[in-house]
Each structure stands twice: as structure tokens, then as C-alpha cells.
Chain A
């Protein structure tokens, strides 16, 4: 059933965007975190998206090799932004280095907020695609009624 794989494709997009939003929330929450378990300041995390070939092998096989449509999006990993930390001169800070600078996370709040809006819009686009598939499926059910 092609319709169900269309639902799966849109759902994979929603999952990916939700994970992206979770990471952005985490980045914002840790925008000033100077201590982590690994030591040093928190590092901004970003998701790594990759396109997926087919969601389920059986419907793909049933539809024939010609009907490849891809299976949506997949998060292959979460990577840390390698950008250097933000240095703020504050010798009184308990985590200050010897030269008086404190290494704050490389999180830019403005970037995170714009990313948040982009993720939210991308999520909405997936919802719209999902609803369109649902409308089509219910229209198909009404054929001959």
C-alpha cells in the first residue's frame, strides 16, 4: 500500500524535525554550561540527516523496482559543533582559566532561535504532506459510493 508508505515518509520527517527541536532546546538550556561530564564547556549539538532508501522492503518489492520513492529521512547521528568556545573575561568565575577567561559553550542563541523556527516550519510541512495523503486515502475509499 503506497499510501501507508507515504504516511511513513512524512512521519520520518516529523521524527527528524522533532529530534532537531530537542537538540535546539538542549543547546539553549546549556547555553551557559561550563561543566560537562567530559570536562570543559558544553558543545553545541547538531543532527546529521541522511535520506533513507526504502521504508519497508516488502511494499517496495511488491511495487516493483521501478517504483522507488525513497523512504523519507533518517538521522544518522548527532555531532558536536567543532567551533571554538566563546571566551568571556571573568577571573572571579570558578571555572576561569589561568588567564582569567571563562570558556562558555559555542552556542549562539540567535542561531538556535532561527533554527528552531526553521525546524518548526519543516515539521508543519511534513504534517501538511501527511494530511494530504490522508485526504487522498479517504477519497479513494469513497470511490463508487
Chain B
């Protein structure tokens, strides 16, 4: 239903994409700030944590596990410039474009989910 697992997952993903947009905007705003280190969501660690949930077989993927929400991590290792700032503006813009499209996909999927529900409620009639 409306509060079902699919919708909750979509909600969380939309939430994470919104958060990521904030991080990327912050990176772009600080592209010229000396000593600033770029922030991002470390997706792989996040996925691992999400998948660590309830599974009965190591090769199963837990669908209903609750991720604790995305966590921002500082990307410290690379220093691209003399001023200690490691923001690569091309990378940030590309990630920003990707994130917007990702969000668009999720929003459309949520719409589709709701449209399906509406169709069921109206018993298939228009």
C-alpha cells in the first residue's frame, strides 16, 4: 500500500538524492576555498551496510533491511591543487547532472507506483 516497502524504499532513495544534491552544491560553492575537502556519500559502504540485514543465505539480498540513512564522508586522500582543495569542478558538475537524472527516475517511479494504486482503487476503470 501507500506506506509499503516499495514506497518506503523510494522515499529513502529520494531523500538520499536530495542530501547528495546538497553535498554537491556545497562542493561547488567551495570550489575556490583553500583547504576545503570535497564531501560525498560513500555509496559502496552504504550499500554494504544496507545489505548486511536479514538474509538466510549469503547470496541473498535483503530487500526490507532499513538503511540508517546516508552519511557524508570527507574525501581526504586526493589533493589536486596547491591550496589543499580537492574539488574537481568537472566531476562535481557530472555528478550533479547524474544525481538530477537519478532523482527524476525515482520521482517517476514513485508516480508510477501511485498511478498503479489509483488504477487498483478505481477497479481498472479510468
**Is the Cβ of A128 less than 8 Å from the Cβ of B29?**
no
Question: Does A50 touch B at the CB level, under 8 Å?
Answer: yes
Contact of A72 among B30, B71, B72, B115 (CB under 8 A): B30
Interfacial residues of chain A within 65-82, with CB under 8 A of chain B in the complex:
66-73
Please give the number of chain A residues whose Cβ is less than 8 angstroms from any Cβ of chain B in the complex.
Answer: 41
Known: A136-B21, A144-B110. A122 touches B33 (CB 8 A): no
Q: In chain A between 85 and 131, which residues have their CB closer than 8 angstroms to a CB of chain B?
A: 118, 121-122, 125-126, 128-130
In the complex the two chains form, what is the Cα distance from A137 to B69 in whole Å?
20
Q: How far is the CA of A12 from the CA of B72 in the complex (A)?
A: 20
Interface presence of A9 (CB below 8 A)? yes
- A37 contacts chain B at the CB level, 8 A cutoff: no
Question: Do A5 and B111 touch (CB < 8 A)?
Answer: no
B111 touches A2 (CB 8 A): no
| A135 contacts partner chain B, Cβ-Cβ < 8 Å | yes
Q: Is the CB of A122 within 8 A of B104?
A: no
Asked if A24 is an interface residue, CB under 8 A from chain B, the answer is no
* Complex interface: chain A residues within 8 A of B14 (CB): 140
B residues in contact with A142, CB < 8 Å: 107, 111
| Docked pose: A143 CA to B109 CA in angstroms | 9
- Determine whether B53 belongs to the interface, using a CB cutoff of 8 Å to chain A: no
Give the residues in chain B near A43, CB-CB below 8 Å: none
The answer on a CB contact under 8 Å between B103 and A13 is no
B18:A132 contact, CB within 8 angstroms: no
A selection of 27 A-B contacts at a CB cut-off of 8 Å is A3-B21, A5-B22, A6-B22, A9-B22, A16-B29, A51-B36, A67-B19, A67-B70, A69-B23, A70-B39, A73-B32, A73-B33, A125-B28, A125-B92, A126-B25, A126-B28, A126-B29, A128-B28, A129-B24, A129-B96, A132-B97, A135-B100, A135-B104, A136-B17, A140-B103, A140-B107, A144-B115
Binding site for B on A (CB under 8 A): 2-3, 5-6, 9-10, 12-13, 16-17, 20, 49-51, 64, 66-73, 118, 121-122, 125-126, 128-130, 132-133, 135-136, 139-140, 142-145
